[in-house]
A and B are shown apart, each in its own frame.
Chain A
Amino acid sequence: MTLRVLAIDDSRTMRNLLGATLRDAGYEVDLAEDGEDGLRHLDSFDPDVVITDVNMPVLDGFGFIEAARARPCDRVVPILVLTTETAPEMKARARSVGATGWIAKPFDEEKLVWAIERVAATGGSA
C-alpha cells in the first residue's frame, strides 16, 4: 500500500517542493497550510506520517504536535519536524512535545525518504 504523507508548511514554495519530492518518492501526499489546517487534514487524510514546519501562523508546529498527540486514536502517528533550526534545544523541545524525528531544511529527497523510512511502516521489505 502506498504510504500516505501529510506535509504542513505555511510557505507555498515549501509546500510545492515537499509535495513534488514526496510524490516523486512514490508517496501519496496531502498538504496543509498551518497547524490548525494540519489538524483538519489529519482527520480527513489519515496519514501514515506527518511532516510539519515549526514557524507557522495560527498554530505553530509545536502546537500542532501537542494537539495531535492529545487526540485519542488507535495509534501514534509519526510526526517529523521540518526545520532550519537543528540546535539541540530545538530537538529537545520538538521531542518534548512528542515529535518522532526531525528533518533539516533545506532537505533533499534522499534525506527526506530516509527520515520517513525510519519512522513509518512501509510494509514492504520486512
Chain B
Amino acid sequence: MTGANTEDFRASFFEECEELLEAMQDGFDQMAVDLHDSETMHAIFRAVHSIKGGAGAFGLDDLVAFAHHFETSLDTVRSGTIEADANLLELFRQCGDHLSDLVAASRQGDMLDPRASDALRTSLDTATGADPDADDDDMPEFEPIALNLDLGDVSPVDDPSDKGFEIAFKAEPDLFASGNEPLVLFQALERLGALKVTADVDQVAPLDTLDQESCAIGWTLHLVTDASEAAVRDAFEFVEGFCTLMVMPIGEPEAPISPLSADDIPSLGDVMNLQSPQHEAPKEAVQEPVPKPEPKTKADTPKMAGTIRVDLNKVDKLINLVGELVIKEAMLSQSIIEIDPPAGSNVAEGLDSLKQIASEIQEGVMAIRAQPVKPMFQRMSRIVREAAAATSKRVRFETVGEYTEVDKTVVERLVDPLTHMIRNAIDHGLEGPEDRAAKGKPEEGTVTLSAAHRSGRVLIDISDDGAGVNREKVRQLAIERGLISEEAELSPAEIDNLLFLPGFSSKEEVSELSGRGVGLDVARSEIMGLGGRVSISSTPGHGTCFSISLPLTLAVLEGMVIKVADQTLIVPISAIQETLQPKTIEIHTIGAEGRVLRNRQGLVPVIDLGQLFGFRPASADLDHRVILLVESDGGQRCALVVDEIQDQRQVVIKSLETNYGHVDGISAATILGDGRIALIVDPENIIADRGTPATSDLDLQLIG
C-alpha cells in the first residue's frame, strides 16, 4: 500500500466515523424512546465496534482503547447482563460524545487529556460492572512469524544435522467440516522449511466398508526449518482440536510411523478425495454446541443509495462553471433577441432547450452540495446536554425536519450561530426546575430545533418554552448602556430586537456558559454573512423563538430583473408576493412624504426604490410605475415602487461583502447577460428598516 493510498483510507475512515457516530446518536435517541429495544442496542454496539476496528487498523491507540472499553460496557446491556436505565443512557451519551471528541482529535492528530477518558471508563465500569481487560488484551493469536520465504534455498531434506521437527498428524472428521484441508495445511507448512510427508494408510478400510466421515490416514511430516516449535504449532492453529498432533524436534525419539515411499505424496490429494467425497459433513456433526445465532432482522438503518466520495473543490469548480454557463446563456439569449430571429426558427428553439438544459444542470449540481441538516442537529443535541449540565436545568431536546437539505457550506457555517443560540435558550430562556414547577410548568424545559423549506429558502427555528424575554429588564439594560434614550417608546418587538445589538447581554452577571465573549450580535452577523436573517419573537411566560432564514444555496437565486431610474436591479422572486399597477389600487398619503397602500390585508408602507437608493427624488406620480408587494419571512410587508419589470431569471450570486462591503438594502450582486453588474435587492433588510412599527402607527392614525 502506498502512502497516498493510506491517506485516502484514513480520510475515508474518518468519513465513515461520521456516519457511525451519527448512527450511534440515532441509537441513543431511539433508546430514549424504548430503552430495551435490542436491535437498537446492536446497532449502537456495531457502530462503536466498527470505529474501534478501523481505528485499530490506523494505529489510533487512544481511540481503540476507549472504544474498546465503551463497547465492552455496551455489550453488557446488549447481552442482557444488565438492564439499561435513564442514568446509564445518559452515561452512554457522554461516552458517545467523548468518542466523537477522540475521533475528531485523532483526525487532527491531536491528543486529548487522558483524564477525560479515564474518568468515563471508571464510570462505565461502576455502572456496568464490565471488566474489559478480562476478555481481551489478548491479541497474541498472530504474533509475527518469521517466515522463511526462500524456498529455493533449503538444504536437502535428509540431512540429519538439520534443525527441524518430526510431526505426527491425524485428522478427525470435524476437520473437513470446518473447511480445513490437510493438503493445504501441508503446503502452507512448506513455507517454513523443507517438508517431507509420509502417509500411513494401514488403517484405511477397503472401499466397501469405508466410513466416509472418518479419516483413517495418518501423516508423518519431516520438516527441516529454523522456525520455532511455536511457529510450527501455530500453523496448526486452526485445526487444533480437530486432530491429533505431535511435534517433536528432530533427533528426539520418533513417534511410531509406518514408512511409505515418498512417491505416494503426489497422490495425497486423490487419497483425500477418496476418503471424504462429501466434504460437507452432516450437520449434526457440526452443530452440537452451537449457541443460538442472534436474531436475524432486516436492516435497521435505512440504506443509502450508492455513493461516491468527491473532493469538495471539484464540486465547487463545477458550481462556478455552471454559474458561468448560466451567465453565458443569458448573454447568448440577449444577443439572439437583438438579432430578432423569426419565431419558431431553429435558433429560438435551440435557445429554449439550451435554457432548459442549463437550468437542469444547475439544479443537479446544486443538489450535489445539498445535505440534510441532521448531523448538525445531532451536534446540537450534545450542546443541549452540556448546557443543561452546566446550568443544572432539565432540558428535553426536540428536532423537527432533520432531513431538510441545505447547501453543505451553509450547514457548516451555521454551527457556531446555532450553538450560541441554543446555549442562549438554555442559559437565559429556560427557568430552573423549581421556578418552572412554581409556575405550573413541567420541570423539564423543552428546546426545539426545527428546519423546513419555504419558498426557496430554508427556515430554522430555535424555540424554548421558557420565561420569554423580560422586556422591562431588557429595556432597563438598554437605557443603562446608552443604547436607547429613557424616553424612547418601543414596541415589544423592538425591545426584543435590542438583544441583537452589539454588546448587549440580557444577563447581569456573565455566566460560565454565555461568558464566551460573543453575543447574539455575533451570531446574527454570521447568519447575515450567509445571506440569511434572524428574527426573534417572544411571549412572556411561554418562551422565545429565534427564526433563521437562509438561502438554500449560496450560488444562485431566482430573481426578477427590474429597472429603476435606468439602473438594473434584481429582486428575489421568493420575497415577491404580487406585482401591481398603482393605477388600479388605493394609495394614501400620510404626512409630508409617507404613503401607504391599502389592499386585502390592510395597509402596507410604500417605498420608492429609486429614492431609497438615491437614484432620483421620490416620484410624485406613480401611475407609470410598477409596485412589487414583498413580504419578509416574519410576515411583514411593504410595497416597492420600481419603473419597469424586464425579466425573470436565475442569477448567479456574487458576494458584495467579499468583494466590496456591506450595503444596506442590497444583499449581493450579479452579472447580467450583457456583462454588466446588477445589484440584488434585499427586501427583508428594507422592510426591517421601514416596516412594521410604522405600519402599526399608521394604522392607528388612519383609524383615529
Please list the residues of chain A having a beta carbon within 8 angstroms of any beta carbon in chain B: 10-14, 16-17, 20-21, 24, 34, 53, 55-60, 62-63, 66, 69-79, 84-87, 92-93, 95-107, 110-111, 114-115, 117-122, 125-126
The distance from the CB of B408 to the nearest CB of chain A, in whole angstroms, is: 20
12 more A-B contacts (CB under 8 A) besides A57-B42, A69-B280?
A13-B13, A34-B299, A56-B46, A69-B177, A78-B184, A86-B138, A100-B238, A101-B237, A103-B142, A118-B188, A120-B184, A125-B191
The distance from the CB of A69 to the nearest CB of chain B, in whole angstroms, is: 6
A76 B294 Cβ-Cβ under 8 A: no
A119 B181 Cβ-Cβ under 8 A: yes
B9 A16 Cβ-Cβ under 8 A: yes
Q: Is B135 an interface residue (CB 8 A)?
A: yes
For B147, the chain A residues whose CB sits under 8 A away are: 110, 114
In the complex, what distance in Å separates the CA atom of A74 from the CA atom of B145?
34
In the complex, what distance in Å separates the CA atom of A126 from the CA atom of B293?
38
For A95, the chain B residues whose CB sits under 8 A away are: 178, 241
- Tell me the nearest residue of chain A to B238, going by C-beta: A101
In the complex, what distance in Å separates the CA atom of A78 from the CA atom of B276?
16
Picked from A14, A70, A76, A93, the residue with its CB within 8 Å of the CB of B57 is A14
Q: Which B residues between 281 and 312 are near A, CB-CB below 8 angstroms? A: 283, 286-291, 293-294, 296-301
Known: A11-B16, A84-B52, A86-B138. A98 touches B144 (CB 8 A): no
In the complex, what distance in Å separates the CA atom of A125 from the CA atom of B49?
38
Picked from B45, B181, B290, the residue with its CB within 8 Å of the CB of A96 is B290
B136 A85 Cβ-Cβ under 8 A: yes
Picked from B56, B68, B151, B288, the residue with its CB within 8 Å of the CB of A106 is B56
The distance from the CB of B73 to the nearest CB of chain A, in whole angstroms, is: 15
Known: A84-B56, A105-B53. A58 touches B286 (CB 8 A): no
- Tell me the nearest residue of chain A to B265, going by C-beta: A126
For A105, the chain B residues whose CB sits under 8 A away are: 53, 56-57
Picked from B1, B53, B151, the residue with its CB within 8 Å of the CB of A11 is B53
Q: Is B581 an interface residue (CB 8 A)?
A: no
Q: Is B50 an interface residue (CB 8 A)?
A: yes
In the complex, what distance in Å separates the CA atom of A55 from the CA atom of B147?
31
B286 A77 Cβ-Cβ under 8 A: no
For A76, the chain B residues whose CB sits under 8 A away are: 176-179, 279-280
Please list the residues of chain B having a beta carbon within 8 angstroms of any beta carbon in chain A: 1, 5, 9, 12-13, 16, 42-43, 45-46, 49-50, 52-54, 56-57, 59, 68, 135-136, 138-142, 144-145, 147, 151, 176-181, 183-185, 187-188, 190-191, 235, 237-238, 241, 279-280, 283, 286-291, 293-294, 296-301
The distance from the CB of A75 to the nearest CB of chain B, in whole angstroms, is: 5
B291 A96 Cβ-Cβ under 8 A: yes
Known: A63-B293, A106-B57. A118 touches B184 (CB 8 A): yes
A96 B13 Cβ-Cβ under 8 A: no
B293 A66 Cβ-Cβ under 8 A: yes
In the complex, what distance in Å separates the CA atom of A77 from the CA atom of B138?
28
In the complex, what distance in Å separates the CA atom of A95 from the CA atom of B49?
22
Known: A66-B293, A118-B235. A57 touches B43 (CB 8 A): yes
Picked from B43, B52, B286, the residue with its CB within 8 Å of the CB of A69 is B286
Picked from B16, B42, B142, B187, the residue with its CB within 8 Å of the CB of A122 is B187
A121 B43 Cβ-Cβ under 8 A: no
In the complex, what distance in Å separates the CA atom of A72 from the CA atom of B52?
36
A58 B135 Cβ-Cβ under 8 A: no
The distance from the CB of A1 to the nearest CB of chain B, in whole angstroms, is: 15
B294 A20 Cβ-Cβ under 8 A: no
In the complex, what distance in Å separates the CA atom of A49 from the CA atom of B40?
32
For A99, the chain B residues whose CB sits under 8 A away are: 178-179
